[in-house]
């Protein structure tokens, strides 16, 4: 846009412009002082001769102007012209020669005008040349014989030859140009269109191969006859390499995309993104909450997601014939059961999570359900925010295998329970035999007391009470077995371990006496209250005491001592049953608590395994060891009852 203030200036502004112009001129004359001195001297000499002689030397002012023009500056020429006019005027005043003065003034004016025009033209040309040098492209002009006539800075940088080296050389010989079309064809194209563009190969000065994108224009003279070719080229060697790298990478990606066993989907989610941004615009702040309140939106988003590409694995996995069966809206393969997973993935994408993984149920083209592990991956470039990659791994069969495994485990657990039930059934004799033996012995004793000539009613009552106690115990054992068969949890209540020990010993009193066993009780005064099933703990104690008694009954010599102690450490209550028998047989030590482990001729090997399972079911521990008296010591612990309110 032209600023009109340059054309309409006030007098003050004119003064300012002239002042600055004078200042610039003066400064430049200082920059070239010799030229200024020469111009001034010449002008003075011409003036002196012109004034002193009748010779027409004033025409030599034109020479002075030409010298001033060598500075290449307009203002020099104008100043010199003014000086010449002034000096001519002075000569005229001195000689009073009117016609000569007019001719001189006109001559000076014409010369000044021509020089100024020439200067303007040169300046324009040099500006053009400077611009040509500024361009990064190589620009070269050849005549019709291929001789280089012009060679810019870009060409120097690209090919390595300086302008002096290149100008005058035959372009084809210098650059070893390899054209994509024959020279005749190229000439024909240039003559017809005046223009040609294409890629060509050349060599630089150091022999390096260059791939150039070149544009050739036919130059014509003022009569439209072809006079040369303007060739503009830029180096695309590296771009070619980069393009090649991209092509290779694309091929590699395509190969992986197609050959991998994982199903890969490329989806366009631009419509979903737009829809979500509309929601935000409408004031939705929490997208998760919005999805919960508007489940239909998930279905809408699924239908807005467009499948752009899928690989071969996807075609196989989804039972498609070609990939075209799967391209388009994603809805057909995404059933309602998979919507939750889609919503989670959508939220992850909105939060710009680069990777998100979850399981989902999709469906094949034929409507078969597919359990998949699917991963969403956002491309790293922000520009690709509208594209998303899904990779799906079919886990239908592994899910089936997992379900089958769970079912097998359930069956196994049931079978195990049945096995232990079998064991228990087999051990009913073992467990119930003791109370039955007690019932028999006490019943017979009661009868004996009553059949006496003088029946001893008191003694009979004691025997019958013991009989009732044994019967109750037998009944409880049977009840416990039934509970186990029904897989009932033990009736865990708060028990005083000391009381349990004492109650169990009452039931075993006869056995201990019959075997002449000395009993030592060491019950802790802190009364450990454990959480356990009363009858089952009694069963354990009775089993362990009976085992100890049997072990000691084999020892004919020596003491038969049974020590039973209780203790607590605050978290568990412990019972220790120690005997002076032969100790544990090393052959069975490692599998002592395994069913059917026995060293006894009539033994069933079930007592300790029952003890172990009872204690384990109550959350306790049981172990066996040797004691200081070479006998065995069995220890079991049960968790302390923490809830005092249960009583
Ligand atoms: P059973 O009494 O029918 O053999 P148990 O499971 O009760 O079955 O005992 C398994 C084995 O453990 C016994 O055969 C015996 O060898 C050993 N055992 C158990 N208690 C003691 C003990 N107090 N002293 C030595 N060995 C014992």
**What is the C-alpha separation between 500 and 615, in angstroms, rounded?**
14
CA 567–ligand 1 middle distance (angstroms): 24
Q: For 346-352, which contacts have Cβ atoms below 8 Å and span 24 or more sequence positions? A: 346/272, 346/291, 346/298, 346/301, 347/287, 347/288, 347/291, 348/376, 349/269, 349/376, 349/378, 349/388, 350/276, 350/287, 352/378
Residues of the chain predicted below pLDDT 70: 1-32, 56, 58, 96-99, 129, 380-384, 404-431, 480-490, 556-557, 643-647
Residues lining ligand 1, CB < 6 A? 547-548, 551, 579, 581, 583-585, 588, 592, 597-600, 603-609, 632
**What is the C-alpha separation between 537 and 636, in angstroms, rounded?**
10
For position 562, what pLDDT does the model report?
93
Residue 4: CB atoms within 10 A of its CB come to 7
Ligand 1, atom 13, lies closest to the CA of 598
Residue 219 near residue 242 (C-beta atoms within 8 A): no
CA 472–ligand 1 middle distance (angstroms): 26
Phi, psi of 235 (to 5 degrees): -80, 120
Ligand 1, atom 11, lies closest to the CA of 598
- The CA distances from residue 267 to 82, 289, 310, 330, in Å, are 80, 25, 9, 9
For position 408, what pLDDT does the model report?
58
Residue 273 near residue 385 (C-beta atoms within 8 A): yes
CA nearest to 612, candidates 433, 470, 473, 420: 420
* 108's tokens: 């000076």
CA nearest to 61, candidates 48, 52, 74, 72: 48
Pocket test for ligand 1, best of 517, 546, 547 (most atoms within 8 A of CB): 547
pTM attached to this predicted model: 0.36
Residue 349 near residue 301 (C-beta atoms within 8 A): no
* 7's tokens: 């054309």
Residue 432 near residue 478 (C-beta atoms within 8 A): yes
For position 4, what pLDDT does the model report?
37
**What is the C-alpha separation between 210 and 196, in angstroms, rounded?**
19
For position 431, what pLDDT does the model report?
67
The continuous run of DSSP H or E covering 513 comes out as helix 497-514
Opening angle at CA 621, ends 615 and 626, nearest 5: 115
Task: Tell me the torsion sign for CA atoms 72, 74, 75, 79.
Answer: positive
Residue 257 near residue 301 (C-beta atoms within 8 A): no
CA 586–ligand 1 middle distance (angstroms): 12
Phi, psi of 307 (to 5 degrees): -80, 120
For position 489, what pLDDT does the model report?
62
**What is the C-alpha separation between 638 and 574, in angstroms, rounded?**
7
Ligand 1, atom 19, lies closest to the CA of 547
Pocket test for ligand 1, best of 546, 598, 604, 627 (most atoms within 8 A of CB): 598
For position 7, what pLDDT does the model report?
35
Residue 283 near residue 277 (C-beta atoms within 8 A): no
**Ligand 1 nearest atom to the CA of residue 631, by list position:** 24
Q: Quick one: how far is CA 481 from the chain centroid?
A: 57
**What is the C-alpha separation between 465 and 454, in angstroms, rounded?**
20
* 518's tokens: 């000395």
């Amino acid at each position: 846009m032209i600023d009109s203030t340059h054309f309409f200036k006030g007098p003050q502004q004119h003064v300012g412009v002239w002042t600055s112009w004078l200042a610039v001129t003066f400064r430049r004359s200082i920059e070239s002082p010799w030229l200024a001195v020469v111009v001034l001297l010449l002008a003075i000499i011409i003036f002196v001769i012109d004034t002193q002689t009748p010779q027409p030397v004033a025409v030599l002012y034109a020479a002075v102007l030409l010298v001033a023009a060598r500075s290449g500056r307009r203002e020099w020429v104008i100043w010199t012209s003014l000086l010449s006019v002034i000096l001519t005027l002075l000569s005229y005043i001195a000689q009073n020669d009117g016609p000569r003065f007019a001719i001189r003034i006109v001559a000076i004016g014409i010369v000044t005008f021509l020089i100024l025009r020439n200067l303007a033209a040169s300046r324009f040309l040099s500006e053009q040349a400077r611009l040509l040098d500024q361009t990064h492209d190589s620009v070269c002009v050849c005549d019709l014989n291929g001789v280089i006539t012009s060679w810019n800075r870009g060409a120097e940088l690209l090919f390595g030859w300086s302008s002096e080296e290149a100008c005058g050389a035959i372009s084809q010989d210098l650059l070893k140009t390899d054209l994509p079309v024959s020279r005749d064809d190229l000439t024909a194209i240039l003559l017809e269109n005046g223009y040609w563009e294409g890629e060509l190969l050349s060599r630089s000065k150091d022999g390096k191969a260059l791939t150039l994108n070149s544009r050739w224009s036919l130059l014509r003279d003022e009569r439209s006859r072809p006079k040369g070719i303007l060739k503009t080229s830029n180096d695309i060697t590296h771009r070619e390499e980069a393009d090649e790298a991209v092509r290779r990478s694309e091929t590699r990606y395509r190969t992986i995309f197609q050959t991998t066993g994982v199903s890969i989907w490329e989806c366009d989610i631009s419509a979903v993104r737009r829809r979500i941004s509309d929601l935000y615009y409408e004031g939705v702040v929490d997208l998760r909450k919005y999805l919960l309140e508007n489940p239909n939106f998930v279905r809408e988003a699924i239908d807005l997601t467009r499948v752009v590409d899928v690989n071969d694995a996807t075609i196989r996995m989804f039972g498609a014939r070609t990939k075209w069966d799967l391209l388009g809206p994603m809805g057909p393969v995404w059933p309602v059961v998979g919507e939750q997973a889609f919503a989670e993935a959508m939220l992850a994408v909105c939060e710009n999570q680069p990777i998100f993984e979850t399981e989902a149920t999709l469906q094949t083209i034929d409507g078969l359900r597919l359990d998949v592990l699917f991963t969403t991956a956002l491309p790293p470039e922000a520009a690709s925010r509208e594209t998303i990659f899904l990779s799906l791994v079919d886990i239908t069969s592994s899910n089936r295998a997992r379900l089958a495994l769970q079912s097998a485990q359930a069956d196994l657990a049931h079978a195990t329970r049945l096995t232990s039930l079998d064991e228990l059934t087999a051990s009913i004799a073992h467990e119930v035999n003791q109370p039955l033996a007690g019932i028999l012995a006490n019943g017979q004793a009661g009868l004996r007391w009553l059949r006496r000539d003088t029946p001893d009613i008191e003694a009979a009552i004691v025997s019958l009470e013991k009989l009732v106690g044994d019967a109750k115990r037998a009944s409880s054992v049977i009840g416990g077995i039934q509970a186990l068969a029904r897989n009932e949890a033990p009736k865990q209540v708060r028990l005083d371990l000391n009381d349990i020990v004492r109650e169990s010993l009452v039931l075993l009193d006869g056995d201990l006496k019959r075997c002449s066993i000395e009993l030592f009780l060491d019950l802790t005064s802190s009364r450990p209250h454990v959480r356990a099933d009363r009858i089952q703990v009694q069963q354990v104690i009775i089993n362990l005491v009976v085992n100890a008694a049997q072990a000691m009954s084999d020892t004919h010599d020596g003491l038969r001592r049974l020590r039973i102690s209780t203790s607590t450490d605050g978290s568990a209550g412990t019972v220790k049953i120690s005997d002076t028998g032969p100790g544990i047989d090393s052959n069975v030590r490692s599998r002592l608590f395994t069913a059917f482990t026995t060293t006894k001729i009539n033994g069933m090997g079930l007592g300790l395994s029952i003890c172990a399972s009872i204690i384990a079911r109550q959350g306790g521990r049981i172990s066996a060891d040797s004691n200081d008296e070479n006998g065995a010591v069995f220890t079991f612990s049960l968790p302390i009852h923490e809830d005092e309110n249960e009583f």
